[in-house]
Structure 1
Amino acid sequence: MAVTQRVCIVGLEEHEVSEIQSALEFGIGIVAHQALPQIVVRDGKLLVASRQKPGLVEVTRVVFHGIYEDDLEFLAALALWGGSCLPSPRGMMDLRLRLPGLVRALEHTRFGLPLRGYASPKAEFHTEAERVAKWGNWHCGKNKERFEGVWQSDEPCIVEDFIPGQSVRIVLIGDKYWQIKLEGDSWLKSIHAPNAKFMEIDRELLADTQNIAKAFGLELVANDYIVTDRGTKHLLEVNHVPNVSRFPEIWAAYRDYAIDWINRSVISVI
C-alpha cells in the first residue's frame, strides 16, 4: 500500500496553512502547529504530535517558520533528524542566539565594521562615544538601548557603536529578493512600522546577504544594515526566520516557494 508524504508545518497561522494546503499535490498530508509540538526522533524518523488523535505520527518533511523562547533544542533535534526541512535547521540553529549568530555571520560579510564589544552581567562598560547595547535573543527592536558614559546590565550584552543612517533590510526567498526601508518614531527602526516600504535594491547589500545565506545553507533570510549619509554600510543583524506577513508580495513569494518545495518532494513509500 502506497503512503504519500506527510508534512509538518510549524509557526504559520491557520489561514496561511490553508493557503499552502489548497495548492498541494493530491495525497500530501499536513500536520500544522502554531506552537512547538512534541516530537520524537527515533531510528532516523521524525514523529510529531497529531492534532486529530492521541499520540505521534511520522512526518517526512518540515516547514518551520517561527521564533520561540525555547526553540534552540527543537531546531537542533530537526538537524539531528537530518530529514528535509525548510529552511535548513542547522542554519537556523547557528543563527538563533544573538551573540554566537552574529559572530558567525561576521565571518561572511563585507560590512562587519566597526568592531563589536561585549559586557558581562554587572560589568561596567565605559565609553565617551555613543554606543548601543543589545541583550537577549529577540529581534524586532527589542532589548536594545543607546548610551554613553557608563553602561551596566543584568544581562550579557553585545556593545556596538551607534551609527546614524538609514536602516534597511534585504529579504531573500529563493531567487527572489527585496530591499525594505525600515521606519520608526525613534532611533529604533522596524519592518512593522506603517510607513516601512520597498526601495531600490542595493546590489552590494544583496550580494552580501546572498553570501551569508549561502554560508549558512538558508533558503530564506533577512539582513538588517545601516547605510550612512556617506554611503558606508554596516551589518546589524541576520534574521534567520524573517517576517513574511508584513508585505503581501513577500508572503506570496514565501507561500509559492513553500508549495513548490513540498510538491517537489512527493514520493511514495511502500
Structure 2
Amino acid sequence: MTHNRIAVIGLHEHEYEYIRQHYEGLMIWHQSIPKIKIIDGILYVEKAQGVGMLPVDKVIYHGIFEDDLDFISGLALWNGPCFPNAYGMLECRLKIPCLIKAMKYSKFNSQRGFISADTYINTNSELVAKWGNWHCGENKHKFTGSWESTENSVLEPYFEGEAVRILNIGEKSWQIKLEGETWLKSIHPDNAQFTEIDTELLQDTLMLKDKIGMDVIANDYIVQKDGTKHLLEINHIPNITRFEEVRLHFLETVVDWIHED
C-alpha cells in the first residue's frame, strides 16, 4: 500500500501525536508556518529537521498566525488536498471581508457601519468597534458618545443577550454558550458549556459553511431576550482543544480524511 506524505501545520504536539499514531505514512510537522514552494503543481514543504524541502501530497492546517494569509493563498494556488479547504480559509481569514460575505447570505445580518482610522464619531447609542483579524475578544471597543478610532473598524450596535457559538466539524455540530466576566464573551472560561442547539442558528451556520466553501466553521451569535438573533462573526479556525469531545472528533475527522483516496 502506498502512503501519501502528509504535512501537519499549526497543530500542537498532542494533536500531532494522535495523528502520527493513526497514520503509518510519512509526515512533516510544523507548529508554525514553514517555507513552501509549488513547482509544476507539486507542493514542497520545508523539512522539520535539516535543510531542504520535500514533496507533500496532503496538508492539514490548523492555526492563526499574523502573517499566514499569503501561506493560505499558496495552499489555494496549489489546489491540492488540504483540510480544512484552503479556499474556505482564504475567504474567511480577513474578518471584515468575511463578515461582508456572510451578511449577504445570513438570515441574521444586522446593519453594520464603518469608520476609518483617526476619525471621530459621536453617538447617543451604544456601539462596538471591531478591527484587525484576531479573535478571542481582542481588538474590540464598546462606547457611547465621542470616540476616535485608531484603526479602520466595523461598527455595530451593542446587542445585549446570550452569546453562543455554533461549531461544525464534518457531520457533527455543537452549540456552546460563551462566557466571560465582562461584555466580552469567549469559549475559554471554565463555565463555557454545551447547550441545546438552536435549529435556526444551525441552519444559518451550515448554509454559510456551504456558501463560503468551508470544512470547519464556528459562528458566533447573540440571542437577545426577545429572541432576536444576530450573527457576530465567523471563525475559520475555531478552538478545538477547549472541549475533549470536540478535540477527539476533529482528530478523528482528520485521520479519516487522510486515509481517503
Q: SS state of the match for residue 105, structure 1?
A: helix
How big is each residue's C-alpha offset from its partner over 1:177-227, in whole Å with a ceiling of 9 and x where there is no partner?
000000000000010011000000000000000001111111111000000
Letter in 1 for 2:178: L
Identify if the C-alpha distance between structure 1 residues 53 and 3 changes in structure 2 by more than 3 Å, giving closer, same or farther: farther
Structure 2 equivalent of residue 268 of structure 1: none
Any unmatched runs of 5+ in structure 1? 266-270
1:255 and 2:251 correspond: yes
Q: SS state of the match for residue 201, structure 2?
A: helix
Structure 2 equivalent of residue 229 of structure 1: 225
Any unmatched runs of 5+ in structure 2? none
1:20 and 2:19 correspond: yes
Letter in 2 for 1:237: E
User: How big is the alpha-carbon RMSD for the aligned residues of Structure 1 and Structure 2?
Assistant: 1.0
Structure 2 equivalent of residue 156 of structure 1: 152
Q: SS state of the match for residue 234, structure 1?
A: strand
1:56 and 2:53 correspond: yes
Higher-RCO chain (CA-CA 8 Å, sequence separation at least 6): 1
1:109-148 alignment runs, 5 A limit: 109-113=106-110, 115-148=111-144
Q: SS state of the match for residue 32, structure 1?
A: strand
Runs of 4+ that moved beyond 4 A: none
Aligned-partner Cα distance in 1 for 2:117–2:86: 30
What is the CA-CA distance between 1:3 and the residue it aligns to? 5.4
1:172-211 alignment runs, 5 A limit: 172-211=168-207
Structure 2 equivalent of residue 4 of structure 1: 3
Identity of aligned residues (%): 46
Aligned-partner Cα distance in 2 for 1:97–1:125: 24
Letter in 1 for 2:102: A
Letter in 2 for 1:159: L
Aligned-partner Cα distance in 1 for 2:188–2:34: 27
Structure 1 equivalent of residue 96 of structure 2: 99
What is the TM-score of this pair, normalised by structure 2?
Answer: 0.98
Q: SS state of the match for residue 107, structure 1?
A: helix
What is the CA-CA distance between 1:108 and the residue it aligns to? 1.8
Aligned-partner Cα distance in 1 for 2:104–2:248: 32
What is the TM-score of this pair, normalised by structure 1?
Answer: 0.95
What is the CA-CA distance between 1:4 and the residue it aligns to? 2.7
